[in-house]
Structure 1
Amino acid sequence: MRRRLLLSTLAVAVVALLLLGIPLAYAAQKLVYEEAGRSLDREASSIAGGVGFSLESHRPVTGTVIAREYPGRHISITMPDGRTVTAGPPRRGRVLSATAAHGAVRVRVSRPEAQVRDAALRLILLVGSLALLGVAVTVGLAMVQARKLILPLVDLAETADRLGSGNARPRPRRYGIPEVDRVAEQLDRSAVRITQLLIASRGFAADASHQLRTPLTALSMRLEEMIEAADYPDVVREEGAAAVAQTERLVAVVEQLLARARHDRAGGVVPAPIDEIIAQQVEEWRPSFRKAGRNVRIIGEQGLVGMTNPEGLSQIVATLLENALTHGAGTVTIHTKPGANSVMVEVGDEGDGIPSELAPRIFERSISGGRGTGLGLYLAQSLAVMDGGRLELTQTRPAVFSVFLRQPAEALLASQPVVMGPT
């Protein structure tokens, strides 16, 4: 921005100086030539009057005296008897001349045009020097003004960036520019409102998570007691184990919500085996798919390790499987494969896919293709970003979602080629 201000100010100054300087230079040159002509007229009239007075006084007229009084001029005097008296250097090249008469005496005064041209050039150079000085002063003032304007804008941009990152502390700094000061005041008011909203949202999340965690823990204990007490049939044990797994996953989700309310992550990001997390989720969701007459299969490379929060990745895979069960059709395929610097987990089905008008907004909050709240994919993408990965819709028809996880540092080092130096 500073460069644009300087360039625009310089352009305005140059255009203004050109619009004023060119006519001024032309007028100055014309003025020099006109003044030179008037000076020659005065000299010719003065010489003619002096020669006439000398003739009336019967004094001799010599070119030496006249040349000494008017140096650098070529003077030609025509006497009443037709005699011509010359004075000064001979005429060479182009000259400017003026003629005057006094009675029968005629005088012609000439000077080299180069002298007048040099005088005009010196005046034009003086005008150009003043113009350059004006441009330099303009650029200096523009730099001062640009610095005075840009520094507050940079400061305001940093303040806005802090607001976006959650640091909503007001900065009561003013800059002496009314418009910029009004923007700073509005940012300070916004910081106060954002702080209040953050406090309220964190309090609500913490309270809700705490209230949910207690009954879920009690429910998990009751289910475990039910499984222990039920010796038959086996269906009770199978369904009870599935319910316990679901409850444990809900407890993990609540723990994550509570951690997000505290702005940290429960457990953190660690190198996690992808196969185990996917297998656990497939085992948990397979009965639901079997009841719907559908199947889930796992293909791709085994033994991959990615940097993730295991609970977070479990929640992401569970969301994608639930999304495929609700909105998709046919067999759901989970494809694991390594990338250049990442581990990919693709989840796709054989359904009609996602409408083209919905695809760009599929991860937005409250956006749903039909049944559902529209929060599942939004939360899944948020969990992926929190762990340093990302969740993308890589194919719309049929729908394929891809989870990209960072590879551990050891895997990255192992994948890089080793260059041996000369021995």
Structure 2
Amino acid sequence: MRRRLINSTLAVVLVVIAVFGVSLVIVETRTITSSAQESVDAEAYRLASIVDSLLLDGKPVNPNVIADQSGAKRYALIEIPGRAPIEIGERPDGGVIQGKATGEQGETVVVEEPRSSVTREVGDSLLIIGGVAVIAVIAAILLAVRQANRLASPLTDLAETAERLGSGDPRPRHRRYGVPELDRVADVLDASAERIGRMLTAERRLAADASHQLRTPLTALSMRLEEISATDDPATVKEEASVALTQVERLTDVVERLLTNSRDPRTGSAIAFDLDEVVQQQMAEWRSAYRSAGRALVCSGKQGMRAVGTPGAVAQVLAALIENSLMHGGGTVALRTRVTGNQSVIEVTDEGPGVPADLGARIFERSISGRNSTGIGLAVARDLAEADGGRLEMLQQHPPVFALFLSREARKRAEERPTVR
């Protein structure tokens, strides 16, 4: 492309120089020739005037007197009637430019100038014109190279940007080139890079969320299937199969929820539901895991509470908190339900060391973890809570207390239940 731009620019410049150069040469040649002819004619008239003056004054007319008075440098032939011709200067050889004048006393003056002097002057002019043309060509080459680089380099840069996008590097470069058309292309590529970056981020986030959120129900389902395979009691098999089916339903709900959040994290299907059922479900799912770890999982607080949200999402939030306490906490894990204002609150706490001070303000950020875990669980849980119009907060670091706040639908005669279940 650079070569084409340079060649096209030079072609235009050469055509312009050829057209205007030839025209200028013709005009300059004619001007020099005309000027030389006028000069010879003027000198002939001047010599005729001098001869007239000498004749009228009765002075002698000879070459020296005429040359002194006129300062003539060209060859001149003066013919006076009744007298011998008078010559001034040396007659040129070859072609000449001739000027002729007739005086009042009948004398004739002829002035000649060699045409070679005119040719020499025309040659000098041609040299000047040629030099200017060469300078113009050199300047055109430099400007063409500069302009070609100015146009070709951005295109090469834009091609590299497009190649980077195709290879999976969506970082925008934010480079501009001072050419509106190229800057427009750069704007479009940067906008495309940002969109691709957001899409890749969303896909990575979906994959990470899916791997994290599906791990718990799959583990629980695996435990139930192991229980079924290890027992011959039909009642136990039936009970464990029923729980396994519940786990499959929850697994399906988790997948649908993840897909919904990947499209629009604020899209929810909030309904009024019985909070006790979700809490009891999570207690049943996690009790065996806590029993295997030699720890207890208890629940206390207000009964008969209803909340507005998505039961599956609330179950996932509670599962993330309970699992977090199982992995990072210690001692007994307690779920407490209470009402504050127009909100239903579920608190999850344990007797472990709590959240480190340096992680307290960032505990809900992705990839933030105190014990080499994925750092995704609490971030996903907060997103799920906010999608239902609720919120997830850490109320206390030592011991840790996490609270899920949901909009409340009041039920008459709600009773306190201080008992452990």
Looking at both structures, which has the greater relative contact order when contacts are Cα pairs under 8 Å and sequence separation is at least 6? 2
User: TM-score when scaled to structure 1?
Assistant: 0.47
